[in-house]
Amino acid sequence: MSEDEELLEVENLRKWFELRKGLFSSPLYVKAVDGVSFKLKKGEAISLVGESGSGKTTLGKTILRLYEPTGGTIKIKGRDITHLKSNELMWYRRETALIEQDPYGALPSFFSIHRILEEPLIIHKFGNAEERRKRVREVLEEVRLTPIEDFAPKYPHMLSGGQLQRVAIARALTLRPELVVADEPVSMLDASVRIEILNLLRELQEKRKISFIYITHDLTTTKYFSEKLFIMYAGKIVEIGDMLKVVHNPLHPYTEALLKAIPDPDPRNREILRDVPPGEPPNLVNPPSGCRFHPRCPYKMDICQKEEPPVFEPENGRFVLCWLHAKK
Amino acid sequence: MTDTILQSRNLKLYYATRKGVVKAVNNVSFDLQKGESLALVGESGCGKSSLAKAIIRLLPRNIATYTGEVLLEGQDIMKLSDTQFRRQIRWKRISMVFQGAMNSLNPVLKIGYQVAEPLLIHEELDKKEAKKRAVEALRIVGIHESFVERYPFELSGGMKQRTVIAMALVTNPDILILDEPTSALDVITQANIMNLLKKLKKEMQLSYIFITHDIGLSSELADKVAVMYAGEIQEVADADTFYAKPAHPYSQKLMASVPTLRTEKKPEFIPGAPPSLVNPPSGCKFHPRCPSAFDRCSKENPPVFDLGSGHLVKCWWYAK
């Protein structure tokens, strides 16, 4: 497959969670992901940024089919996997992987590092014992847990947080996946080791031509990871664009607010009040009508509360869900 | 001129654990001026929360050592008995907003009552008076009177955090200790809370001790910065000096590891991991990770060197 081909195509994807329903009332839904569309090329890395409760984790997990979508389609290499059953999904599981936030909880404490890394190979019936050992050594080397002889027999409690996250990354890579979703992979690590892990992920992504979705609430770290930025708010992707363009010239008022809220280390900060919108993200059971950001938006117009904005493309390659950018 | 409101001298807080003695706070000294905010910065496990607990004297049971001086306007409050400390100091003079406190609000009590409770207990006010003061405290943090009768589940995260700040302020303390006051909040909500803290500081002449792991965030409040590593304060400097030219190799490295939004700087990482506080390295605690360490660093723990105008550094590079 050529470099430019789409690996992943997501169309109007929805994931609603049903709340407990009363005997006579109709059920309520938390619309965690509500109409998301985007494409991802082979070997492309993107950062998906949103605040807690924006649906970014749900989107990641739905794409990996760890959740059953409520609506829309997910296609990988042109093949529709939206509603495949779990026994038909084994091949998809081999080609995708998830790296989670908490390395302390993600690894079974009763397995050695070698066994943790061998487990996916066993489950997917990869090679014989010798080939498996070789692959485990390979990935340990890739995440630089060396000397391998020292690390392979150890158990998770003997490693530091940064080392554990390396093991979690190694495990995600053992089956050579084409698509990796990393959900806040560094937010539980100390500031001094975060950059090290992000650099490692980036390096592996480039070397192995992995399509990578980096999910985070921390905009400052995304710049070092991907060229493309997806901004999510209240279950929708509200802006897509090149990292530097979005950071220096945000199109969506929410992106603008998010950027304004982030302090760089500067002693002058203490003299200023930040110009950020009041209020907090909406309840996703009953989101606001029209544009979901309109109750907090400083540029609110009449149309914003009445009609949901479609996707506009005011510049080539930049997409935004906001009426401000409607063609006049 | 400003007056010194709080001074800590050689404060030590050690915990006894099964693995050995944890030296969480080791010989910590600093000064806090009236109306000043001191940012206490460090990575997780460096002892910054323990230092806060040592100051406000809310300690776990497994204390091995708790010594040193804490002077509040010249009075050594370490010499007070627990009862005296509870009656005279805690909450009345020094308050604290605990990390994650917004999730510790009592779910079955109305927030007005929860804010008024310190007054009922510490100042023995009658209910009517206490409620009046609680409404006032909530108003100051930007919560409308109509919320007094509501329960925590009816509030958003930012409002819960405001409630917790109101609780700490309702007794009119001089010093407010803020332990990661925005760590569970979204960035926009965080910016709103930081705006509130800046306003309160100005209007009420409060002194803050602001504990955070985030150097970017610390610059939102800090007049002065103290960097903590392995239970010790490694550097103290006023904010302008610190952010322009940190002196300690650890401060420099920490600053270099911060990803920034608006500059092209490429962040670096610090090799290795923070040390165990049970068996810390000999000499300077940072020497195993320090790029400029030399012989002496691994042998002797450096004293504090004064670089002038209150800029203190604990590093052998600055020995005359």
The whole-number average pLDDT for the span A38-65 is 93
pTM of the model: 0.88
A20-34, A246-260, A289-303, B210-224: segment of lowest average pLDDT: A20-34
Pairwise CA distance, residues B170 & B115, whole Å: 7
Determine whether the interchain pair B187/A196 forms a contact, defined as Cβ–Cβ distance below 8 Å.
Answer: no
Q: pLDDT at position A6, please?
A: 87
pLDDT tens, position by position, for chain B (320 residues)? 468 999 999 999 999 999 899 999 999 999 999 999 999 999 888 999 999 999 999 999 999 999 999 999 999 999 999 999 999 999 999 999 998 888 889 999 999 999 999 899 888 889 999 999 999 999 999 999 999 999 999 888 889 999 999 999 999 999 999 999 988 788 899 999 999 999 999 999 899 999 999 899 999 999 999 999 999 999 999 999 999 999 999 999 999 988 888 888 888 888 888 888 888 999 999 999 999 999 999 999 999 999 988 899 999 999 87
Domain made up of B4-93+173-318: CATH architecture = 3-Layer(aba) Sandwich (3.40)
Determine whether the interchain pair A261/B187 forms a contact, defined as Cβ–Cβ distance below 8 Å.
Answer: yes
The per-residue pLDDT of chain A, averaged, comes to 91
Decide if the complex's ipTM is over 0.90: no
3-state secondary structure of A27: coil
The whole-number average pLDDT for the span A267-280 is 90
Q: Where are the domains of chain B?
A: 4-93+173-318
Q: Please report the beta strands in chain A, taking only residues with DSSP state E, as ranges in sequence order.
A: 6-18, 29-41, 45-50, 71-76, 79-80, 96-99, 179-183, 211-216, 228-233, 236-242, 312-315, 318-320
**B186 at the A interface (CB within 8 A)?**
yes
Q: pLDDT at position B100, please?
A: 84
Determine whether the interchain pair B259/A195 forms a contact, defined as Cβ–Cβ distance below 8 Å.
Answer: yes
- Closest-CA distance, A69 to chain B, in angstroms, reads 27
pLDDT: which is higher, A263 or A327: A263
**B259 at the A interface (CB within 8 A)?**
yes
Q: pLDDT at position B101, please?
A: 85
**Which residue does chain B place closest to A255, by CA atoms?**
B188
CB nearest to A263's CB, from B186, B188, B216: B216
Contacting residues of A for B259, CB less than 8 Å apart: 194-195, 220-221, 223-224
Pairwise CA distance, residues B96 & B53, whole Å: 9
Question: In this predicted model, what pLDDT tens digit does every residue of A202-228 receive, in sequence order?
Answer: 999 999 999 999 999 889 889 888 889
Determine whether the interchain pair A196/B269 forms a contact, defined as Cβ–Cβ distance below 8 Å.
Answer: yes
Confidence of residue A1 (pLDDT cuts 50, 70, 90): very low
